[in-house]
Amino acid sequence: MDGMAATGDSSRSARPTAAFFDLDKTIIARSSTMAFSKPFQAGGLISRRAVLRSSYAQFVYVLGGADHDQMEKMRAFMSTLVAGWDVATVREIVADTLHNIVDPLVYDEAVDLIEQHKAAGRDIVIVSTSGTEVVEPIGAMLGADIVVASRLEVEDGKYTGHIEYYAYAEEKARAIVELAELRGYDLAESYAYSDSSTDIPMLETVGHAFAVNPDKELRRAAASHDWPVLVFTKPVALRSRVPLPPAKQTIAVLAVGGVLAAGGVLWANVRRRRPGA
């Protein structure tokens, strides 16, 4: 696989390095948030009409990739949809159904890259526009060190319908730069992977950027920046590659693993303790 060149010896840099991964259509084969529409309906959180609408949005997303306007419409729809949802119920549904939904959707090639970057001593950072409730447990399953994801506002244990932090487009790049300052990453020797043109700012923050199953605009940008293009085509069951804990245990691990809020961004430390902890 061409991406294996991305896992060279990290000892060239005296500072720590990281590999930053978008989630949807980069690590998994569809929208992580939309994948939970039917379980949310079964749990009484959304209507059948909402399931159909989200399924159509997923269809458009898979075919050609959502543009900025489509993402904004979906953001507004989702934030309105979740208003009043009980946070504990959402987390329980995700925990109970995570393995059945995500397992067959993980790209084998992405898991290979993650394992190779770990072997090279790099931190694995997932940077996703999807919400923390979905991205955090997926990150734990993948053995990610850190998760950067959108965060919904919560009051009295329920979502208000407002987005507290939106990890999208330029904000992903800002989050990576802030995280590099916090953790001491050498971004010139770090790596990033994404499928979407909205993540061009994120890819531009590192010295080694890769376009994965890119949309048309990202493919053009990759050509102009001389970024390698990777094609991932093999969805596999993650449990066939990595020993996984029970879903509810995954949530427990996240709960006790420690969450560090920095500059308005949620950093979920999944695998290793912070220096001095």
Q: How far apart are alpha carbons 51 and 32 in whole angstroms?
A: 14
Domain 2-269 is of which CATH architecture? 3-Layer(aba) Sandwich (3.40)
Q: What is the pLDDT along the chain (277 residues), one digit of tens a residue?
A: 556 455 555 445 589 999 999 998 899 876 545 444 555 555 554 555 544 444 434 433 443 445 556 556 666 666 666 778 788 877 777 776 666 666 557 899 999 999 999 999 999 999 998 888 878 888 988 899 999 998 888 899 988 888 889 898 999 999 999 999 999 999 999 999 999 999 999 999 999 999 999 999 999 999 999 999 999 999 887 776 665 444 433 332 332 222 222 223 333 333 333 333 3
Q: Are 28 and 193 in contact (CB under 8 A)?
A: no
Strand stretches in the chain, DSSP E? 18-21, 106-107, 123-131, 146-155, 158-165, 191-194, 208-212, 229-230, 235-236, 259-262, 265-269
Residues in the chain, overall count: 277
Query: What is residue 76's predicted lDDT score, i.e. its pLDDT?
Result: 65
Domain ranges within the chain, ordered by starting residue: 2-269
pLDDT on residue 44: 56
pLDDT of residue 92: 77
**Active-site positions?**
22, 24
Q: Mapping DSSP to helix (H, G, I), strand (E, B) and coil, where does residue 61 land? A: helix
Q: How far apart are CA 126 and CA 122, in angstroms?
A: 13
Report residue 77 as tokens.
């729809």
What is the model's pLDDT at position 114?
96
> pLDDT value at position 105?
79
Residues near 243 by beta carbon (within 8 Å), at least 6 away in sequence: none
pLDDT at 67: 55
